[in-house]
Amino acid sequence: MNSTADLDIMTARELTRIVLAKEKLFILDVRNESDFSDWKIEGESIDIINIPYFNLLDGVDEALEQIPEGTQLLVVCAKEGSSKFVAEQIAEAGRTNVHYLEGGMKAWSEHLEPVKIGELHHGGALYQFVRIGKGCLSYMVVSSGEAAVIDTLRMTDVFEQFAKEHGAQIKHTLDTHLHADHISGGRTLAVRTGATYWLPPKDADEVTFDYEKLEEGHDISVGTTTIRIQPIYSPGHTIGSTSFIIDDQYLLTGDILFIESIGRPDLAGKAEDWVEDLRNTLYNRYQVLSPDLIVLPAHFGKVTELGDDGRVMAKLADLYHNNPGLNIKQEDEFRRVITENLPPQPNAYQEIRQTNMGKITPSVEEQRDMEMGPNRCAVHDK
Amino acid sequence: MKTDIVVDTKGLACPMPIVKAKKALNGLEPGQVMEVHSTDKGSVSDFQAWVKQTNHELVKHEEDNGVYKFFVKKV
């Protein structure tokens, strides 16, 4: 048996490069139909079909009929085993350029791609970490041998390694709010590096650990230069949601304002209760800020929000023109749009919130399972 | 519940639990019941989708100390 035929492994990093470069790729996703319709790999140049692996146990003819010859093929499943099983049969059937995704959708969900956003006025730089599979974004400010990480994701080793490579010591980890769609790595990273962990006090009523309070007007310095992180209380997605202005250039909006949409107000309470706060933040508090600020959110919802090299960023002034969520004139219309367009809640969001409060301590494997699926933090306005 | 065959797939990852279950099911007569044990959490929704599609009957499924048990009646 020619067991290796023309079969290669593709890593999540290689797949990320393909998505960002808009290279052509045909994906056969062999997970079950409901998992596929819930969450899948997306990209502007990607064609994807779904045939569950249990339909391909006796032969892959059904798949071969639908896979165009001559294109690069990637077979994907939840963890890897089934995609390898199917990909082997496809390669043995004589197809070339056949791959399977190393680690499956779990690895895809965990991959972080660091991109540089820009330089800071007094030296140093701001980096964005794009969790492309799930649509989460973290940030690192690096200046004069010190670093601060904002909305740290669970994969803390990536941040430790990155800081090390840039000769910086992580001094602060900050969360814009208590996350409901993913498990924060902020506390773990702070413990590992001796950094201070900052949270908005209004989101932290029930947390079981010590933290520093993010309060309006309280600056946090990073490095010896005058980089200041100014927290702005900006409730709406959660009651305590806080935005940061870094170096007078960048506005980190957390889950309040995204590039093509706005945050949902219901994951930690009721939409009706917080819709007013959300409107006030978007239509009053952000309005008085400099329109030249570059908005950097904690999520993206669609691949169209990914810019050059995967960066997710836009000028505040442009968002006031283009983002539908910032262009709803009447307050009651806004209330209606927000409360009637809420997507399903993220997978295991209650357990994720409990984990982020320190109330439960799931194993790494359980944390992975809790985080499966898309982030679903935005209100879909179309 | 009376079962006609027990398929142990504990410790096996996808696609093996369903590969083994399918093979065992092929050897059963209509009306007989197969019991499958798996430790693969991901197999729960796959099993449900698979049985539904094959038109056999998933009589019940339960978890017992990290072991998922599926009872499938051949139609």
Mean pLDDT of A85-104: 96
Same domain, A116 and A55: no
CA distances from A95 to A15, A77, A87, A133, A198 (A): 20, 19, 10, 27, 53
| Structure ipTM | 0.92
Q: Which residue has the tokens 């990209």?
A: A43
> Number of folded domains in chain B?
1
Q: Strand A262-263 relative to strand A250-254: parallel, antiparallel, unpaired?
A: unpaired
Q: What is the pLDDT of residue A14?
A: 97
Q: What is the pLDDT of residue A381?
A: 47
Angle between helices A331-340 and A271-280 (to 10 degrees): 130
Higher pLDDT, A51 or A216: A51
| Catalytic-role residue among B10, B11, B13, B14 | B14
Say whether B15 and A79 touch across the interface (CB within 8 A). Answer: no
In a domain, A343, yes or no: yes
Would you call A21 exposed, middle or buried from its count of C-beta atoms within 10 A (0-12, 13-18, 19+)? exposed
Q: Which residue has the tokens 């019940």?
A: B60
> Number of folded domains in chain A?
2
Same domain, A52 and A165: no
Chain B residues whose beta carbon lies within 8 Å of the beta carbon of residue A85: 15
Tens-digit pLDDT profile for residues A356-365: 999 999 999 8
Confidence of residue A2 (pLDDT cuts 50, 70, 90): very low
Supply the DSSP symbol for A206.
T
Give the residues across from A46 on adjacent strands: A25
Question: What amino acid is encoded at B2 in this protein?
Answer: K
Say whether B45 and A57 touch across the interface (CB within 8 A). Answer: no
Chain A residues whose beta carbon lies within 8 Å of the beta carbon of residue B41: 369
Q: Which residue in A212, A267, A220 sits closest to A245, CA to CA?
A: A220
Same domain, A171 and A277: yes
Question: What amino acid is encoded at A267 in this protein?
Answer: L
- Are A356 and A179 spatial neighbours (Cβ–Cβ below 8 Å)? yes
Mean pLDDT of A14-29: 95
Whichever domain contains B33, its CATH number is 3.30.110.40
In a domain, A162, yes or no: yes
In a domain, A2, yes or no: no
Chain B residues whose beta carbon lies within 8 Å of the beta carbon of residue A55: 53
Say whether A53 and B15 touch across the interface (CB within 8 A). Answer: yes
d(C-alpha A81, C-alpha A87), whole Å: 10
Helix count and strand count (H, E) for chain B:
2, 4
Q: Look at residue A210 and tell me whether its pLDDT is greater than 90.
A: yes
In a domain, A135, yes or no: yes
Does a cis peptide bond (omega within 30 degrees of 0) precede residue B30? Answer: no
Q: Is A264 left (phi over 0), alpha (psi -120 to 50) or beta?
A: beta
Chain B residues whose beta carbon lies within 8 Å of the beta carbon of residue A57: 15, 18-19, 22
In a domain, A1, yes or no: no
Tens-digit pLDDT profile for residues B8-45: 999 998 899 999 999 999 999 999 999 999 998 888 88
Among candidate residues A75, A107, A139, the one where a domain is terminated: A107
- Are A141 and A148 spatial neighbours (Cβ–Cβ below 8 Å)? yes
* Chain A nearest CA to B26, separation (Å): 12
CA distances from A364 to A265, A355, A370 (A): 28, 12, 10
Higher pLDDT, A236 or A192: A192
CA distances from B22 to A14, A151, B13, B18, B72 (A): 35, 45, 15, 6, 11
Same domain, A250 and A310: yes
The closest CB to that of B13, out of A32, A34, A81, belongs to A81
In a domain, A298, yes or no: yes
Same domain, A177 and A297: yes
Q: What is the pLDDT of residue A274?
A: 86
For residue A372, the chain B residue with the least C-alpha distance is B42
Say whether B49 and A32 touch across the interface (CB within 8 A). Answer: yes
Same domain, A225 and A169: yes
Q: Look at residue A224 and tell me whether its pLDDT is greater than 80.
A: no
- Residue B43 domain boundaries: 5-73
- Residue A21 domain boundaries: 7-107
Q: Is A334 left (phi over 0), alpha (psi -120 to 50) or beta?
A: alpha
Confidence of residue A132 (pLDDT cuts 50, 70, 90): very high
Among candidate residues A90, A107, A124, the one where a domain is terminated: A107
Q: Look at residue A230 and tell me whether its pLDDT is greater than 90.
A: no
| Catalytic-role residue among A12, A46, A77, A271 | A77
* Chain A nearest CA to B32, separation (Å): 21
* A68-72, A160-164, A222-226: least confidently modelled range: A222-226
Q: Look at residue A49 and tell me whether its pLDDT is greater than 70.
A: yes
Q: What is the pLDDT of residue A1?
A: 42
The closest CB to that of B15, out of A33, A34, A57, belongs to A57
Q: What is the pLDDT of residue A4?
A: 54
The closest CB to that of B42, out of A54, A79, A85, belongs to A79
Same domain, A211 and A64: no
- Residue A77 among the catalytic residues: yes
Chain B residues whose beta carbon lies within 8 Å of the beta carbon of residue A77: 14
Tens-digit pLDDT profile for residues A331-353: 999 999 888 888 888 888 999 99
d(C-alpha A237, C-alpha A263), whole Å: 6
Same domain, A247 and A361: yes
Q: SS3 helix, strand, coil % of chain B, rounded to 5?
A: 30, 35, 35
Among candidate residues A107, A126, A145, the one where a domain is terminated: A107
* Chain A nearest CA to B42, separation (Å): 8
Whichever domain contains A218, its CATH number is 3.60.15.10
Say whether B53 and A55 touch across the interface (CB within 8 A). Answer: yes
Mean pLDDT of A102-107: 96
Same domain, A50 and A177: no
Higher pLDDT, A236 or A4: A236
